[in-house]
Amino acid sequence: MVLVVVMGVSGSGKTTVGSRLAAKMGWKFYDADDYHPPENKKKMAEGIPLNDKDRIPWLCMLHDLLRREDSSSHDVILACSALKKMYRCVLANGASAIESNQPDQSGENPALKILFVHLDGPMDIIAARLEKRRGHFMPPELLKSQFDALEPPSPPENFITVSLEKCLPEIVLEIESAILQHEASLVE
C-alpha cells in the first residue's frame, strides 16, 4: 500500500493532478482543503496568510486520516500544500513531530512512509492559473506568501519533483511511473 501527498503552492494543480491520478489508479483521493476549519478558510479569504498555529492542528488531522488509511491498507493520494519540511514531518509523524521536532522513531507509531510529489513551477504561470480560478477561498494575492513559505523537499525526504509546465497527462504518467518504482523499492 502506498501513501502519496501531491504538494505545492496554491494553484500548482494539486487537486487536479491528485484526483486524476487517483482515478487512473483506482485509489482513494482526499483534498486537504476540505479539512480546513472555517476559521482558516475565513482568514485566507480575507487575504491573511495562515501561520503555523493555524496549520498544525489541520496537519495533525490529515496525519490521522493518513494513519487510518494506512492501517486499513488503502492506497491513498492526498492533495496538500505541505509547504515546509516541518509540515511534511507532521503529516508523516503526527503531533510527535512538533513536540520533539524529530520524527517518532519508536516502534509504537512509526513514521508513515509517504511519497511527496512536489508540483513545481514559476510564479507567473501559477499566478495566471489562480486568476482564472473561481469560487476558491484562496485569493491570488496570497501566492507570494506561499512561495515565501515554501521549503522544497530535499534528501533524505522521500520525494519527486515534477514540473507543472508539462501537460496534465505527462504529469500524471511521470508520477505513476515514480509510484511504481516506489512500490518496487518497498518490496525489495
pLDDT band per the 50, 70, 90 thresholds, residue 105: very low
What are φ and ψ of residue 2, in 5° steps?
-130, 140
What is the residue range of 169's domain? 3-187
pTM of the predicted structure, to 2 decimals: 0.89
Measured over the CA atoms of residue 48, residue 120, residue 55 and residue 100, the dihedral's sign is negative
Report how far residue 78's alpha carbon sits from residue 51's, in angstroms, rounded to the nearest whole number. Answer: 21
| Res. 142: pLDDT tops 80 | no
| Res. 119: pLDDT tops 80 | yes
pLDDT at res. 44: 80
- Residue 31 is part of a domain; what is its CATH number? 3.40.50.300
Task: For residue range 161-176, list pLDDT tens digits in order.
Answer: 999 989 999 999 999 9
pLDDT at res. 104: 44
Distance set, CA 22 to CA 3, 98, 127, 172 (Å): 11, 30, 26, 10
Report how far residue 140's alpha carbon sits from residue 44's, in angstroms, rounded to the nearest whole number. Answer: 10
Task: For residue range 49-88, list pLDDT tens digits in order.
Answer: 888 899 999 999 999 999 999 999 999 999 999 999 999 9
Task: For residue range 41-58, list pLDDT tens digits in order.
Answer: 888 888 788 888 999 999
pLDDT band per the 50, 70, 90 thresholds, residue 106: very low
The predicted model gives 18-43 an average pLDDT of 95
Comparing C-alpha atoms, which of 157, 151, 155, 61 is closest to residue 103? 157
pLDDT band per the 50, 70, 90 thresholds, residue 179: very high
| Res. 154: pLDDT tops 60 | yes
The total number of structural domains that make up the chain: 1
